[in-house]
Structure 1
Amino acid sequence: MGNRTDFTWSHNTDTTALHSILQYTDKAGMSLVNVMGYSGHAFRIIIDREAVEVGSYSFFDWKLRHGEVMQNLGFTIQTAGKQTNTPPTPEELEEGIRLVQETIDRGLPALGWDLFIPEWGVIYGYDDEKRIFQCRDIRKDGELPYEKLGRGEVTELYVLAVTGSRPVDRRSILRGALQLAVNHAHDTYVELESSNHRNGLAAYDAWMEAFINRSVDPFGNGVNTGKICDAREFAEQFLQELSTSWPGDEQHDGQFRALAKEAAEHYSIVAERLGQMRSMFPFPQGGEPNQDAQAERALELLREAKAEETQGIMLLERMLELLD
C-alpha cells in the first residue's frame, strides 16, 4: 500500500466538484475514492509531448467525457457554454446563468469552470437582486458576479447541471468504469488526434518525448505530475477496496478480488514512481526538469511507471471479462 491515508481531497478538481454535487442526489454518501474510480478519472492521463504544458490535464472534450462519466454514475446532465477560449456572447451568458439558477432551485449545485482560477468548482447559490453567484473552488469560497461567469482568467464558459438520476447497480457501474479506463488507456481521444496531446498509455511516451527533447515546461510539468500522481493514488485505493469488498462466493468472485488486489499492487508502484517525480518537480516552482541528471532520472521513473500501468490495464481488462 502507498503512504497516502487521506482520500477526502484530490487535485483533480472536476472529480471533486462532481463528488460535491453527488452529495445532493440519491447517490449521496458515495466516497471520493468511489467517484474517482467509477468515473474512470483515477486512470486518466493526458500529456502534451512538446512541453507538458499546464493545460494538458484539461485537454479533453469536457461535455462528451463528463457526459460519459455522469451517465455511468446514473445521471443525465445538461451543459451550457463552449470550450473555445472566447468569452461568451450575452446570449450564451444568459443561457449559462439560467441553467445554474434552475439547478440551484432544484437543490443541486452546478459544476463551473474557471470561477476564481482555471480549475473546476461548484456554484451553490445565487442572489438575483445583487446578480451574484456563491461559488467554491480550490482558490476560494466567495461571490462571483453574473457577468464574470465564463470571463475569468481563460475566458470560456462551461457549466454542467444534473437534470435527472436513475438507480444503478454496482456491477454495471463498475463494468462501465473499467470500460472507460481501458478505452482511455488504448484509444486516442478523437479530440486529441490533431494536437500534440496524447491520452492513456501513449501519454507516457509523449511525456518521455518532452524529457528527451529537454523541452519540459517546469510549471506545467509540476501541475500535471501532481494531478496524475494523485489520480494513481486513488486508483490503488479504489482497487484495494474492491479486492476486499467485492461480494460473492462464486469462483469468479474470488478471481475478481484477486485480480483487483494484483492490479492495486501495480498501481501502487505507478503512484510511488510518480510520487518520486512529484518530489523532484514540486508545484508551483517545478524544479529543473531539463537539467540532464533530472531529466534522465525522470525518464527512468516514467518508463517504470508505464510498464506497471500497462500491467495494471491488462488486469483491468481481465476484471472486465469476469463482469461480462
Structure 2
Amino acid sequence: MDATILSRHEEQEEQQTADDILVERAKAGDREAFGELVRRHRAKVYGYARSYTQEPFLAEDIVQDALIRAFLHLGTLVDSRRFLPWLHRIVRNQAYTRLQKAPQKREQVFSGLSSAPSMQENTDWEDLDSILHRLGRRWSQPANPGETPEDVLVRKELLQTITGMLHCLSARERRIVESHFFDHLSPQEIARLFQISQANVYQLLSRSRKKLLQEKTRVAVDQYVLSRKEASMMKKAVLKTPEAFGLQTWVTCAMALHGMVNAAGRSFSLPMVMGLSGHAFRLTVVPEQIHIAGPTMFPFNEVLQQGLRNMGFSSHVVNDFKPGENIGVNANFVDPSLLGAKAREKRELSQMLPRALELIHRSIDRGYPVAAWDLFIPEFGLIYGYDDEQKQLHAGDNCGHNATIAYDHLGRGLMEDLFVLTLGEAVETDQRQMLIGALQMAIEHYRGTEPGCGAVNGLEAYAKWLEAFEKRGIEPNGNSYTLAVVHDARRNASAFWRELADTWTDSAFDAVRPSWLEAADLYGGIAEGYAELCLLFPFPAGGEPNAPAESQKAIQLLQNIQSQEQRAAALLENMQKALSE
C-alpha cells in the first residue's frame, strides 16, 4: 500500500478512535467531550444542512436544533462509531421539519401593550415581540412538567441571546423593558414606578424595540459571517470591473441590467437592453413640481424582473424598498455629509440585510455582478466583489463612483432602502417572445395599467407635466433631471428599433419590419424634441421653467411630443397584435 494512503488511513483511524472516546464520555454526561465533538464536526454538519437549504440562516437554525437533540438523545446511540451518520440523520430530519413549516412572518410593531399578548400559546421564534413575551411569561416560573428538554435548552439559549442584546439599551431603557416584559408590569404601573407619563413609557418601549431589532440584525450578520468561516467559505472574490460603468446613460437601472446580462454571456447593446426591459419607453413624473424622484418611482421588483425575463433570465430579489416614502429627499440639495459613511452609521439596519448578503455572495461566486439601489446616491449601481475578512463589498456605477462599502452599510443610504437583484438561471425564449414581452411592458406603461408608486405613468404623465408648467410650480432641478432621463430613453428607443430592423433578419419578422423602421423615425423625432427641452432647462441648474416665456415654449414642445408619443403607443399596440396572430 502506498505510504501516503497508509498515512491517511492511520490518521482516519486515530480520529475515529478519538471520536469514539469522546462519544462515550459525552454519553456519560461529559459536556466538554460533547463540545469537542461539535468543534470537530460542526463545519461538516453545517454542510449537511446547506445541502438541504440554500439559506445559511435556516441551515444554522437546523444545525442548532440538531445539536440540541443530539446532546439530549446521545444515550440512544448504541454504536459509538456511528456518531456522524447518526448526527447526519438528525440534521436531515430537522431539515425536513423546518422546510415543511410555513414562511415566518415579518417583524411587527409593538401593538396592544395594554392588552395581554403574554397569554399567547404559540411563539414565533423569528419575531422579537413574541420571543420577549414568551421569555417574560416564563422568566420566574418553574419548569413545566410537560415541557420537553429540547424546549428547556432552546429557551435558555434564547434567554441568553436576548439578555445579551439588552446591553444595547441605556440603563433606563433596559429597566423599563425588563419591567414590562419580565416583571409583567403594565405601562400604567411602569409610569407610576418611574414617575414618568404613560406616553413616555410607550415612547421608551418603542425606541427600545427599534434598538433591539437593530442589535438582532447585527447579531444575524455576525452569525452569517461566522457560518461562512465555519464552513471554510471565508474568502475575497472580486470580479472584473464591469464595463457598464463606462456607459453614457442617465438610466442607471439599464446600466445595471446591461452589466448583469453581459457578464452572463448575452452581448446585448445598451439600446437592446433599454428596449427589451421597457426602459426606453418609460415616462414617470411627480405631479405639480416634477420632483427628481419621478424617473425612479416604479415597482422595482416587477419592472426589473420582467425586463430580465424578456432578455432570457430568471432573477432573485431582496427588497426592503418602499417607493414614495422618501419623495421629499433630493440628493442634490442635502448636505454632502449625509451621503457619507458616518451618516450611514446613524441609519437603521434593514432586517433583510443577512438575506441580501447571502444573495450577493451566491451571485459573485457564480461570476455575476449584482444590481443594487442607493449604493452611493439614489441611483442604481453594481456590486462586483466582496471581502469576508474586511466585511466589505466592491461596488460602483456609471456616475463616477467605484469604492468599497461595508457589509452593514448596505441599505443605509440616503433613502434608507435595501434592494438587490441577481441573475437566476437562463430561461428558454426566442426573439419573438422577447419582443412580445417588451411590447406588453411598454403598452401597460403607456396606458397607465402598471402598478403605481405615487407618481403618474405613461401618456397621462404628459397632462400632469403640462399642468405643472401652466401653474408654474416646477422645481428646476427635478424637471431638468426628468428631461435628461426621458431624452436618453427615447434616443435609445430609436436606436433599439433601428437595431432590430438591421439585425433580426428572420423572415418571420418581415411583416412588422416596416413598423420597426417607422418607430425608429418616430422615436428619433421625440428625442429631438426632448433635446430642445434639455437645452432650455439644462441639468443640474435647470434654467427657469416657471418664467412666462420659457414656460410657454416648453408647453408647445411638450404638446408636440405628447402627440408623437400617442402615435408611438398606437404603433406598438399594432405591432403586438401582428406578432400575436
**Does TM, scored on the shorter chain, surpass 0.5?**
yes
Supply the distance in 1 between the matched residues of 2:247 and 2:380 (Cα, whole angstroms).
17
Counterpart position of 1:68: 306
Counterpart position of 1:315: 571
Partner SS for 1:91: coil
Q: CA 1:89 to 1:43, structure 2 compared with 1: closer, same or farther past 3 Å?
A: same
Asked if residue 49 in structure 1 is aligned to residue 287 in structure 2, the reply is: yes
Cα displacement (A) at 1:286: 0.7
Asked if residue 219 in structure 1 is aligned to residue 477 in structure 2, the reply is: yes
Supply the distance in 2 between the matched residues of 1:61 and 1:248 (Cα, whole angstroms).
34
Q: What do the CA deviations read for 1:83-120 (whole angstroms, capped 9, x no partner)?
A: 13696645322221221111111111110111111100
Residue of 560, 564, 568 corresponding to 1:304: 560
Cα displacement (A) at 1:160: 0.7
Residue of 452, 456, 463 corresponding to 1:191: 452
| Contact preservation (8 Å) 2:350, 2:418 | no
Supply the distance in 1 between the matched residues of 2:561 and 2:503 (Cα, whole angstroms).
27
Q: CA 1:254 to 1:164, structure 2 compared with 1: closer, same or farther past 3 Å?
A: closer
Give the AA of the match of 1:62. F
Partner SS for 1:76: strand
Cα displacement (A) at 1:165: 1.2
Cα displacement (A) at 1:44: 0.7
Cα displacement (A) at 1:190: 2.5
Counterpart position of 1:175: 436
Residue of 244, 259, 263 corresponding to 1:24: 263
| Contact preservation (8 Å) 1:17, 1:121 | yes
Give the AA of the match of 2:403. G
Counterpart position of 2:173: none
| Contact preservation (8 Å) 1:266, 1:312 | yes
Supply the distance in 2 between the matched residues of 1:74 and 1:67 (Cα, whole angstroms).
11
| Contact preservation (8 Å) 1:21, 1:110 | yes
Counterpart position of 1:135: 395
Supply the distance in 2 between the matched residues of 1:107 and 1:64 (Cα, whole angstroms).
24
- 89-98 or 258-267, which moves further after superposition? 89-98
Cα displacement (A) at 1:245: 3.0
Counterpart position of 1:38: 276
Residue of 413, 419, 426 corresponding to 1:165: 426
Q: CA 1:299 to 1:151, structure 2 compared with 1: closer, same or farther past 3 Å?
A: same
Partner SS for 1:135: strand
Cα displacement (A) at 1:167: 3.4
User: What percentage of aligned pairs have identical amino acids?
Assistant: 35
Supply the distance in 2 between the matched residues of 1:95 and 1:317 (Cα, whole angstroms).
40
Matches within 5 A, 1:206-245: 206-245=464-503
Partner SS for 2:422: strand
The higher relative CO (CA closer than 8 Å, separation ≥ 6) is in 1
| Contact preservation (8 Å) 1:244, 1:257 | no
Counterpart position of 1:3: none
Equivalent pairs counted in the alignment come to 312
Cα displacement (A) at 1:8: 4.8
Partner SS for 1:100: helix
Counterpart position of 1:155: 416
Supply the distance in 2 between the matched residues of 1:146 and 1:139 (Cα, whole angstroms).
21
Query: In proportion to residue count, which structure has more helix?
Result: 2
Q: What do the CA deviations read for 1:140-177 (whole angstroms, capped 9, x no partner)?
A: 11111112111112111111111211232111101111
| Contact preservation (8 Å) 1:26, 1:165 | no
Counterpart position of 2:546: 290
Partner SS for 1:159: strand
Give the AA of the match of 1:221. N
Q: What do the CA deviations read for 1:207-243 (whole angstroms, capped 9, x no partner)?
A: 1111111111101011110000000000111112223
Give the AA of the match of 1:232. R
**Pairwise CA RMSD:** 1.7
Q: CA 1:80 to 1:257, structure 2 compared with 1: closer, same or farther past 3 Å?
A: same
Supply the distance in 1 between the matched residues of 2:350 and 2:545 (Cα, whole angstroms).
43
| Contact preservation (8 Å) 2:349, 2:412 | no
Give the AA of the match of 1:311. R
Query: In proportion to residue count, which structure has more strand?
Result: 1
Supply the distance in 2 between the matched residues of 1:306 and 1:290 (Cα, whole angstroms).
20
In our comparison, the structure showing a higher alpha carbon Rg is 2
Q: CA 1:8 to 1:129, structure 2 compared with 1: closer, same or farther past 3 Å?
A: closer
Give the AA of the match of 1:258. P
Give the AA of the match of 1:215. G
Asked if residue 201 in structure 1 is aligned to residue 459 in structure 2, the reply is: yes
* Runs of 5+ unmatched residues, structure 1: 1-6
Residue of 374, 385, 389 corresponding to 1:125: 385
Give the AA of the match of 1:295. S
* Runs of 5+ unmatched residues, structure 2: 1-245, 327-346
